[in-house]
Structure formats: structure tokens, C-alpha cells
Structure 1
């Protein structure tokens, strides 16, 4: 019946392996991205808690 639809067992296995590999790669990417985002958040939170507020480039201090 699979032969009538034009799909063989080999092509179905190829698609399954490609899907599993894509999920693994996306999982690794998400893990690295979450670590980098957490590091950026903690760096910013540390600056804010120490009293220095991060300013955008080109913004001047009021009264100066």
C-alpha cells in the first residue's frame, strides 16, 4: 500500500531521522540562546541594582 502512494520505507525513515535531527539542533540552539539571554539579563540587573541606570546612546544627563 505504501508503494502505491509513492513513499517507500526508506524515504519515511529518512524523513523521521531528519525530523529528529532538526529537533535536536533546535533544542541545542534554544539552550544556548537561553544561556545568553540569562547572562544579558543578569548583567543588566546587576547594573540597575548597583545604582547606575543604563542610558541609550546619545542621551545626555539632565541638568548638565
Structure 2
């Protein structure tokens, strides 16, 4: 699935919990959150919050700790 459109909006995306900027999840972020190594997702700047991409749409809902 083509997710390049997210790059255009990524500078405006913020974590709904911490208000930190979001970035693409890297391998260590995925591992920390118990996710598959090939999953595409976003995380907040410090990597503490995880936001999956479901059918090409980032799910930016607040999460419970």
C-alpha cells in the first residue's frame, strides 16, 4: 500500500497524549511495542506512544498507558 502521502502531513501530526511530533516507527520502536518488524506505524518523538496504520490510515487515537 502506498503510504507516501503520510510524509506530506507528518510535520503536522502530533501525539494526542504528549503533543510531541510523530515520526515513522523504526525497528527498535516496533520491537519495544511488541509489533512485527515489517509493520508500518507512527510513534511520538520519544517512541513511548505507538500509532498503527490501518488500511493506509494512521490511527491517531489517544491510548491508555
Higher helix share: 1
TM-score by length of 2: 0.18
TM-score by length of 1: 0.18
Higher strand share: 2
Question: Which structure ranks higher in relative contact order (CA pairs < 8 Å, sequence separation ≥ 6)?
Answer: 2
